[in-house]
Chains A and B, each alone.
Chain A
Amino acid sequence: MLANYGYKDGSGEYFIAIDTEKCNGCGACVTACPMGLFEVVADPFDPLAENQIAVVKEEHRKKLKYSCAPCKPTGERPPLPCVMSCQPTAIAHSW
């Protein structure tokens, strides 16, 4: 499943998409993200499954533009720590 966390407002679209088919729940993103955006929990979208997956924390979902800002300087942008840390390439950013 593709879980899109984030929002769209007048200034643009700010979504982090986590592919739950790819995510193995390893938690590398949890430690990689300097802002602590991620957490690994029981799959909230499939209550009958027992696997653990990474999700974007509730409190960050409505302010991703600002939460992710430290990793996204204007101009030359270094690779994003969360995307780099994810072995199965489950994390993608829309902006």
Chain B
Amino acid sequence: MAEATLTAPKREYWRWKEYNWRDESLDWRQANVISVGIDVGSVSSQAVVLCDGKLFAYSSLRTGSNSPTSAQKALESALQETGLPREKIQYIVATGYGRVNIPFAQKAITEIACHARGANFIYGPSVRTVLDMGGQDCKAIRCDERGKVTNFLMNDKCAAGTGRGMEVMAELLQVPIEEVGSASLSPPEEPPPVSSTCVVFAKSEALGLLRQNWSKEKVLAAFCLAMAHRTVELLSRIGVEKDFAITGGISKNVGIVKRIEAELGIQALKPTIDPQIAGALGAALFAKALYEKEGAGKASSGG
């Protein structure tokens, strides 16, 4: 018995699901411009395929140690079962941490510009403030009605307040990462936030709290509260203007979103499209614009 439990595969609580999606109603053969955006982040990689600026397919995978391979895999996953051959793609833009070494992308664009553009597409032109909570950094972006950045601030010094920090906590407390948000909202009262902003210290602090007989949920609540608080501080530096939207993986964590909303006193917009693909989506939109712009200069190939 003991042996069986020892050799049983270990459950990885941090491990979130990889996925892909496509719009069956769109036919890529009818499209004039097929553009692709690939966001190779520190934790996850997304690829988005647009047909004439309409969302056609996307994927989200874990980033490996090699960013060209991750980008390749994300693109393959997005194209899966669409029947769309690689040669038909007219323009590829890369973004995210790993954007600089992707050989098959025509251009690399900073993720700040892409997230603002992507959020503009997902939430509409009323979005003025975008908070991107990524795997390893957190970006506060202000933008205009065209999705053009007007002010930004990025915190990439440490992993506190990011997806990576969430993964660490999920694993430590053995709560599946998708359930962290709702679990953190279950304690009847809000505990004081953990004081450490560093993930490594917060981990030891969480252990200490568990030893004081705090429930898992209460520890998660304390951690989510600290994370939300830190993010709001970042936001307050650039100022928050309505409408406010959150993108990136953490936007799926209701525990964080609710707490940020409570601290800001502003409701975040509800996404109609997966907000984790905002960066790649923005890149794909830029790819389309760049293709049209560059195509206009060259002898027109007729699409």
Contact = CB atoms under 8 A, between A and B. Distances in A.
Interface in B213-259: 233-234, 237-238
A2 B286 contact: no
Contact of B152 (A3, A13, A47, A48): A3
Query: Interface size bucket, B side?
Result: 20 to 34
Given A45-B152, A47-B290, A48-B293, A4 B110 contact: no
Contacts of B113: 44-47
B151 interface: yes
A48 B153 contact: no
Given A2-B151, A3-B152, A4-B152, A47 B157 contact: no
How many chain A residues sit at the interface, stated as a range, is: 10 to 19
Contacts, number: 55
B112 interface: yes
Given A4-B151, A62-B157, A48 B237 contact: no
A48 B155 contact: no
A47 B112 CA distance: 11
A7 interface: yes
B153 A46 contact: no
A32 to B, nearest CB: 24
A77 interface: no
Given A9-B157, A62-B157, A46 B148 contact: yes
Contacts of B22: none
Nearest to A63: B157
Nearest to B153: A4
Question: Which of B153, B197, B237 has the most chain A CB atoms inside 10 A of its CB?
Answer: B153
Nearest to A94: B237
B149 A1 contact: yes
Contacts of A9: 157-158
Given A45-B113, A47-B286, 8 more contacts: A3-B152, A4-B153, A8-B157, A44-B110, A46-B149, A48-B286, A62-B156, A62-B157
